[in-house]
Structure formats: structure tokens, C-alpha cells
Amino acid sequence: MRILIVYWHPEPQSFNGALLRRACETFTREGHDLRVSNLLDMGFDPVSDRRNFSTVSDPQYFKQQIEEIYATENNGFSAEIEGEQLKIEWCDLMIWQFPLWWFGLPAVMKGWVDRVFAMGRTYGNGRFYESGVFRGKKAMLSLTTGGPREAYLPGGFNGAIDGILRPIQRGMLEFVGFSVLQPHIIYGPAHLDEAQRRAQLEGFDLRLKNIFNEEPITVGSY
């Protein structure tokens, strides 16, 4: 199977970095085709502007969606953005590996979505949700939190994790057609000891070995 991992964390030695390395080792060992967008190593700029494009629809007024449609029709995305779009079109499964920051994606990963999920190319013209461009493909969030599990339960200190992740799982992934798998969440890795961290990595390895047998979840409304 063909797998794309999109990763960002500012520290390569973080537990997110360890999860990325373990995923790469597991998928390679299992014989899958793997590509990684390591946004940290790439120095990916999250800011959208005309650099997204090699074409120009309206030189007087920048409206990103109009330029995206024009670029889709005229092979006009920059090499950087085109490369990321091709990776998404290539994969069977996409995994996003990141730390949960301020109840959402870190800025660099959110900017990757802003720039790469382009109107005309990845959605639009009635291609949304079940009719989305990427229907038939699966996606999974793999993330860490700062707080413990009980803080993310219904009625907990931060509220239910399902509600926190819904804008990402429903509003980004399902919006463009992906079927979403149960998120893989490591709660408060900074508070775990070395043996507990190793156990979490082994659990991640076991899940990834069997991930193509998993059924999508129903994201629902919260």
C-alpha cells in the first residue's frame, strides 16, 4: 500500500519525532511504499500568497480560490505545492503526525493545508465529503497532547477530544473525501517514564501493522 506521512514538530528528538521514526520503520519493514513530508526539514512556509502559483489569473487583486481554480486549469501551481498535491493523490493512506497546539493543528501544518488543499484541485464543483476528490482513501491523525486522558473526556477540563478534533477530521479530511480512521492519541508523553514511552511506541507499531484492516469512524457532530 502507498502511505504518506505529513509531520511537524519543532524538536526532532520529541516523542512526535519518535512516533515518526517508528512509523517509517514499521511501514518499511512491512513492505509498504512510503513518502514523508517532514515539514520541519523542508522549512515549509505556512503563509499563502502568490508564491503558491506560477500562473496569474488576476494581477490586480489576489483571491486565493480564484487563483487555485486557474492554476488547476493551467498547470499553474508552484513546484513545491504541486509536489505535495501529487503525494496526496498518490497515497492510499495519509497520516498526520503532530502535537495538539491550542486545540488544533500547529501553524505550519495548518498552513500546509491552506496552501495544498486547493480549490479546483482537491475540492469544488460538487466534490465534497462522500463525493470528494479523495474518496476511497483513508486518513488518520496521530497526535500528542500536553494534558492527561481525563482532561479530554466529556465534562473534562478541556472537553471531549472528539469535539476538539472534529474541525480537522470533518472540516479538512472528510471535506475532501478521505475516510477517517480512529485517531491515535498519546496523552501527556512528557509525563510518562521511559518504560511507558517504549510501551506506547510498541502499541503504535502493532496498530500500524494492521491499519489497513481498520474501518473508518463516524466523525459526527459535537
Tens digit of each residue's pLDDT (9 = 90 or more) over 45-97: 999 999 999 999 999 999 999 999 999 999 999 999 999 999 999 999 999 99
**Residue 173 placed within a domain:** yes
pLDDT at 155: 87
**Residue 219 placed within a domain:** no
Residue range 136-157, pLDDT digits in tens: 999 999 999 998 899 998 988 9
**Residue 222 placed within a domain:** no
**Residue 31 placed within a domain:** yes
Q: CATH number of the domain that 55 lies in?
A: 3.40.50.360
Q: Are 19 and 186 spatial neighbours (Cβ–Cβ below 8 Å)? A: yes
114: closest CA among 57, 181, 62, 68? 68
**Residue 220 placed within a domain:** no
Q: What is the pTM of this model?
A: 0.94
pLDDT at 28: 96
103, 109, 115, 117 alpha-carbon torsion, rounded to 10°? -70
**Residue 121 placed within a domain:** yes
Q: Which domain holds residue 91?
A: 2-213
**Residue 187 placed within a domain:** yes
Asked if residue 222 has pLDDT above 80, the reply is: no
Task: Please tell me the total count of domains within the chain.
Answer: 1
CB-based contacts of 135: which residues, under 8 Å, 6+ apart? Answer: 177, 178, 179
**Residue 107 placed within a domain:** yes
Q: Are 164 and 103 spatial neighbours (Cβ–Cβ below 8 Å)? A: yes
Asked if residue 181 has pLDDT above 70, the reply is: yes
pLDDT at 192: 87
